[in-house]
């Protein structure tokens, strides 16, 4: 069994884990999991994310407002703050003082869903500014928004991870050149994921980290099932073929990268 799995993007506070969350979290270390970054998507998630991080020594917290929260009726951004994300962000500020918080996230841009563009741009930029002020890395969501995303990343040059990287190999080179890590998960194992293979071949391995985005995006051969951090072993096995190293070496390297990125000793 492979060890030293570090999952840099997870959502164990999702309702899909309500029935067995405690049992699953207890089982993860025995399954080789050494670290998990649990990501909030709005202020309603944030206390649960912090509680999970405080209760499990291998879990760390990222707190932020996801762009989709601007339009999701059950997100606190809408249900509590009626779209006033500035007030929500102000209310979240004290939570970043908790030592279990190691990043601002999940934040970013999403043009797949009908999220008002100006609002999400302003929200993302405000959270990039917050991360700079707090000297924290970011966990960034970029879906069908490369042009605007890259413009802001060039401007702010944050530390952190571009989660579920879906850009080109050429863009990957300059992104890592300015200090961004790239996150790779189950999607890289899917048939037809040739772009991801080119990216992994183009970048220095020191800039890659592994993730699940669980409960979503389970890799082959467990695609279609609820995902969890133990399945990163399948991702490492696939990447090992590209990097020409043993799967355990991939896990050791990417875990070290994750700890460097999030400044976890």
Neighbours of 177 (CB within 10 A): 11
Ranges of the chain with pLDDT below 70: none
Q: Is residue 11 part of an annotated ligand binding site?
A: yes
The answer to whether the annotation marks 74 as part of a ligand binding site is no
For residue 1, the model assigns a pLDDT of: 87
Number of H helices, E strands in the chain: 10, 8
pLDDT of 265 reads 85
Decide: 13 and 259 in contact? Cβ < 8 Å: no
Superfamily name with CATH number, domain 5-262: Metal-dependent hydrolases (3.20.20.140)
Q: What angle do CA 135, 100, 67 make, to 5 degrees?
A: 65
Any idea where the domains of the chain sit in the sequence? 5-262
Is 111 annotated in a binding site? The answer is no
Cα–Cα distance for residue pair 249/231, rounded to 1 Å? 16
On whether 9 is known to bind a ligand per the annotation, the reply is: yes
Has 220 been labeled as part of a binding site?
A: no
Q: What pLDDT is recorded for position 59?
A: 98
Report the C-alpha gap between 185 and 231 in whole angstroms. 9
Residue 52, SS3 per DSSP: helix
How does the average pLDDT of the chain come out, rounded? Answer: 98
- Chain segment 44-77, per-residue pLDDT in tens: 999 999 999 999 999 999 999 999 999 999 999 9
Contact by Cβ (8 Å): 41, 65: yes
51 has binding-site annotation: no
User: What is the predicted pLDDT for the residue at 24?
Assistant: 98
Q: Which of 86, 192, 181 is nearest to 138 (CA)?
A: 181
């Amino acid at each position: 069994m492979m060890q030293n799995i570090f999952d840099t993007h997870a959502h164990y506070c999702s309702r899909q884990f309500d029935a067995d969350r405690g049992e699953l979290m207890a089982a993860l270390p025995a399954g080789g999991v050494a670290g998990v970054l649990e990501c909030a998507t709005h202020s309603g998630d944030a206390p649960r994310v912090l509680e999970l991080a405080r209760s499990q020594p291998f879990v760390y917290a990222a707190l932020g407002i996801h762009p989709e929260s601007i339009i999701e009726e059950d997100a606190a951004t809408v249900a509590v703050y009626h779209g006033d994300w500035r007030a929500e962000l102000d209310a979240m500020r004290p939570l970043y003082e908790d030592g279990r918080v190691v990043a601002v996230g999940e934040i970013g841009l999403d043009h797949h869903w009908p999220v008002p563009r100006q609002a999400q741009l302003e929200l993302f930029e405000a959270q990039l500014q917050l991360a700079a002020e707090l000297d924290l890395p970011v966990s960034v969501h970029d879906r069908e928004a490369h042009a605007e995303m890259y413009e802001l990343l060039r401007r702010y040059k944050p530390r952190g991870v571009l989660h579920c990287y879906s850009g080109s190999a050429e863009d990957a080179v300059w992104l890592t050149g300015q200090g961004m890590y790239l996150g790779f998960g189950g999607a890289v194992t899917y048939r037809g994921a040739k772009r991801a293979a080119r990216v992994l071949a183009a970048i220095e391995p020191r800039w890659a980290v592994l993730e699940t985005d669980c409960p979503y995006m389970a890799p082959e051969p467990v695609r279609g099932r609820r995902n969890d951090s133990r399945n990163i072993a399948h991702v490492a096995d696939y990447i090992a073929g590209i990097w020409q190293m043993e799967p355990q070496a991939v896990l050791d390297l990417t875990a070290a990268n994750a700890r460097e990125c999030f400044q976890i000793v």
